[in-house]
A and B are shown apart, each in its own frame.
Chain A
Amino acid sequence: MAENREEEGLLLLRKLESKQVSSVLHTLVDGVCHRCQPSYQDYSKVWSLQQWWSVVDMYQSLIKAAVRESFTKDRIYQELGALSEDLKQTVVDVVNSRRDEIQNQLMAETHNISQAVLSDFDWKVKLIMSSDKISSVQEPVVSLDLDIGSGQDNTIHSIELNKEELDKLISSLEGANKVVQQLKA
């Protein structure tokens, strides 16, 4: 049953015109790399929703597998089964031309050293002019947003630091950087 469905998903590519095939595959790769996700609207005339999902699932998993286990051309041909030679060739071309990108993405997904990982950060500096008690404070504070991703969902932790705290944070981060450098050398 499952085998059949897989086959179906892979064969659905035949419905497209040959020009569209490579662009579809490229958008699928973009989806793998967490860029613009492929949208169903563009292909709603060709496939039903169920078919679209099966196409996306099958090809994305195929692409991932091909890069992860570094399939050769023949192996990909074999995986594609009863597809025509031209289409197989386009699939192989797409995978080969985007191999580095996909590999980097897969590595980025797996090389985290802990459950929660800092994925991004943002900062702004604010100048406190005065408070309700003091007319002139003139103290700069930095508000730091740490974007921490654990698995699929991201949470933003916001902290506010004054000058000394920021110095402390930076020095500890520099220590961590030193450790990384030692590991590199």
Chain B
Amino acid sequence: MEEVDHIIIHSLRVIGCDIEEDVTNLKQFSTELIVSAVIRCLKVINSDVDLPNSLPGGMSAKFRIGTSMAAHIQELGYRGEIGYQTFLYSNEQEIRRVLMFLVDKLPKETAEAVEEVLGASVLLQRTIASTLAQQLNSVWTPPYLKQNSITWRGSPPHWQREGASSLCKFHASHLHIPQGMTDLKRKLPKALRSYYSQSLPYVTNQTVHHNDTSSSVIEKMASEITAQQEWENEWNQAGLASRLSEQEYREKKKNKIRKRVMDQLRQDVQRSGDFAASRKAQDLQQMIDSISSRAGSSTKTKGSRFTHTEQLIFAKDEEKTMSQMGGESEVGQGHSEEEIQNQRDAEVEGLREEVSGLVSRLEQMDLEMRKFTASIQQMEEVVSTQGSTNAEKEEAYTVKKRTLDLLPDAENNIAKLQSVVDGSAQRLVTLANQWEKHRAPLIDQYRELKDLSSKKESEGEKKLEEIKAFRVRMKEVADDARHKDEHLKQLVAEYERMTKDVNRSAYTQRIMEIVSNIKKQKDGINTVLIDTRAVQKEINQLTGKLDRTFTVTDELIFRNAKKDEAAKKAYRHLAALHESCELLISTVEETGVIMREIRELEDQIENESKNKVLSNLEKITSDYQQMKKENTALMAKMKQRS
């Protein structure tokens, strides 16, 4: 029972009842405490209950509160006997039952946790709805009153963002950070070092707008990470198999891509070259024109003093020349203007013809020159071919000449030649033999080396495979470790959450203990039952035996009794003995029954004495007296009024 009391008292304290520390069981509860605890429980279960937190002074008021409390508890579904007397004239067991029922009905905290799991989307929607409702209800404030559209309001007031006027684009720009600083062995060039230490602006100053700083940093980090990952992937897949060092691999790849791009470009150029060749000259001319026209207008200052003065000076000069020309023309005014005009036209015409003649001659000359150069080339080629044929012919001539020299002494010479040929053939054979000798071991060596190299290759391949497998495993293990770490963190968090609820584990322990106790007791009861059953059996056996022996002896003595006087006496005695024995047994049984009844009654007495009947009776009588007094006082008041 103590455990139950502990649990009840703990949960009452949790819901805010003012129970003193030294109260450890329900026996120590006073009437006031009981009433306040029950009312508190009722209020927690159902917030509509309208009852005062403590007992009022008047007896009738107490009575009313008691009945209403009983009614509330019955509404909750309590199925025991309950009335005002349960609280006012308390009985430990009844109070325990009522409090247990109430504690059981208390709303569970775990219900909230279950609701939380319901789904993040639901929660999100709820929060969105609540914020929207709040913002709809709150008063509009102009944007210039909110710095970065952050405000301090709501109930309870908290910082929050309102409106979207201060949002900025996620715009990233390139950042430059010192590189190669971590490797202390390699010295940085002095110029670079001074740049890093003096001129390189901080990262926060490198962006054009200050808002871009964080986004730029994030972007840079992300790009570096992805580049690293991509490289790792590629290195694992293709890089290791190529059996090159990292640098070599990179170099090779770079060259490959460069070559590819170059090929592509070359093809495109060739394809478009034919098409564009016809228009090329024209385009070039246009481009030059446009550039020159742009150059004219490219000075940034539209009207600096320098250009103004320049213009002025030139303008004056032009004017002067104009005026001079004007003067000249005045001198030759004697001729008629038409004549002059004609003369001039003729002159111009003549000059033009001359020019065109010169141009055509120039072109002709050009053509001729080209022809001549072409013929020069041709001639050179002819000369070179002639030279080569000449050399060939000379060679042939020398060979023929020698053979002709040999002709007169033909036989000797033939013999000589034969011997020379033989000698050279022999030499060839010996050389071949020697070559064979050298060759065999060399070939053997070559084969061995080949085997060795192939072995090494296969070994290398194997090792590569192993390395790959190890890399994969490494990643797996790292992933595993990370997962486990996360799991650990989760579990730790969970554990921390759990440790707050110490009672739970204590309770479960207690419950286990109680269960084991009950088991033990059950075992004891079982053994006792078996014992009693054995005793019963024995008794039955004995009575059976007794009956049988009695009938046997009875018959025996009865037969003898007809003949013998002593036997008759003995028979009578036997009958008397039997009867008295039976009587004895029955009285023993009766005493047993009575003893049991006595014990039951004693239990009942104990129970009744626990119910504090006497004290409660005294209390009731005193309360009754008080009520009477109150009633008489009221009556007196009534009379006074009337």
Stretch at the interface among A69-77, A94-102, A160-168: A94-102
- Can you name the residue of chain A whose Cβ is closest to the Cβ of B200? A26
Cβ-based interface call for A146 (8 A):
no
Count of A interface residues, CB-CB < 8 Å:
25
B254-269 vs A, CB cutoff 8 Å, 1 = contact: the mask equals: 0001001000000000
- Please tell me if the beta carbons of A97 and B189 are within 8 angstroms of each other in the complex: yes
Instruction: Provide the A55-85 mask, 1 if CB < 8 A to any CB of B, else 0.
Output: 0000000000000000000000000000000
Write the B557-593 contact mask toward A (1 if CB under 8 angstroms, else 0). 0000000000000000000000000000000000000
In the complex, B169 has a CB within 8 A of chain A: yes
Does B191 lie within 8 Å of A96, measured CB to CB?
Answer: yes
Shortest beta-carbon distance, A112 to chain B, in Å?
Answer: 14
Which chain B residues numbered 203 to 228 have a C-beta less than 8 Å away from chain A? 205-206, 208
A residues less than 8 Å from B149 (CB atoms): none
Asked if B195 contacts A98 (CB within 8 A), the reply is yes
Does the CB pair A35–B208 fall under 8 Å? yes
Name which residue of chain A comes closest to B132, CB basis.
A129
Kindly provide the distance from the CB of B144 to the nearest chain A CB, expressed in whole angstroms: 24
Judge whether A173 is part of the interface by a CB distance below 8 angstroms. no
Find out whether the CB atom of B189 lies under 8 angstroms from the CB atom of A36: no
Of residues 481 through 508 on chain B, the ones whose CB sits less than 8 Å from some CB of chain A are: none
A23 x B198 contact (CB < 8 A): yes
Interface residues of A in 31-66 (CB under 8 A from B): 33-36, 50, 53
Whether B194 is near chain A, meaning CB under 8 Å from some CB there, is: yes
Contact of A26 among B170, B171, B199, B206 (CB under 8 A): B199
Contact B174 A33 (CB under 8 A): yes
- Cα–Cα, bound, A142→B73 (Å): 57
| Complex interface: chain B residues within 8 A of A23 (CB) | 198-199
Please, what's the 1-or-0 string for A155-185, where 1 marks a CB less than 8 Å from any CB in chain B? 0000000000000000000000000000111
A94 CB contact (under 8 Å) in B191, B238, B257, B260: B191
> How many interface contacts (CB-CB < 8 Å) are there between A and B?
52
Cβ-based interface call for A139 (8 A): no
- Assess whether A36 is in contact with B194, with CB atoms less than 8 Å apart: no
User: What is the 8 Å Cβ interface bit string for chain B, positions 163-177, against chain A (1 contact, 0 not)?
Assistant: 000000111111010
Chain B residue with minimal CB distance to A27? B199
Q: Of B169, B174, B192, which contacts A97 at CB under 8 A?
A: B192
Which residues of A lie under 8 Å from residue B257 when comparing CB positions? 183-184
B304: CB under 8 A from chain A?
Answer: yes
Q: In the complex, what residue of chain B is closest to A123 when comparing beta carbons?
A: B170
* A50 close to B301 (CB less than 8 A): yes
Cβ of A36 and Cβ of B128 under 8 Å apart? no
Q: Which residues of A contact B199 (CB under 8 A)?
A: 22-23, 26-27
- Bits for A90-132, please: 1 = Cβ < 8 Å to B, else 0: 0001101110010000000000000000001010000101000
List residues of chain B with CB within 8 A of the CB of A50: 301, 304
Q: What 0/1 pattern do residues 285 to 315 of B give for CB contact below 8 A with A?
A: 0000000000000001100100000000000
Chain A hits for B192, CB < 8 A:
96-97
Taking CB atoms, residues of chain A closer than 8 Å to B169 are: 122, 145
A36 near B301 with CB under 8 A, answer no
Q: 17 other contacts beyond A22-B194, A50-B301, with CB at 8 A cut-off?
A: A22-B198, A26-B195, A26-B199, A27-B199, A34-B173, A35-B173, A35-B208, A36-B205, A36-B206, A93-B194, A96-B189, A96-B191, A120-B172, A122-B169, A122-B171, A127-B128, A183-B257
A interface with B by C-beta (< 8 Å): 22-23, 26-27, 33-36, 50, 53, 93-94, 96-98, 101, 120, 122, 127, 129, 138, 145, 183-185
List 10 A–B pairs whose Cβ atoms lie within 8 Å, in order of A's numbering. Answer: A22-B198, A34-B173, A35-B206, A35-B208, A36-B205, A53-B300, A97-B192, A97-B195, A122-B169, A145-B169
The interface of chain B, by Cβ under 8 A from chain A, is 125, 128, 132, 169-174, 176, 189-192, 194-195, 198-201, 205-206, 208, 238, 253, 257, 260, 300-301, 304
Closest 5 CB pairs of A and B: A93-B191, A26-B199, A97-B192, A97-B191, A122-B170
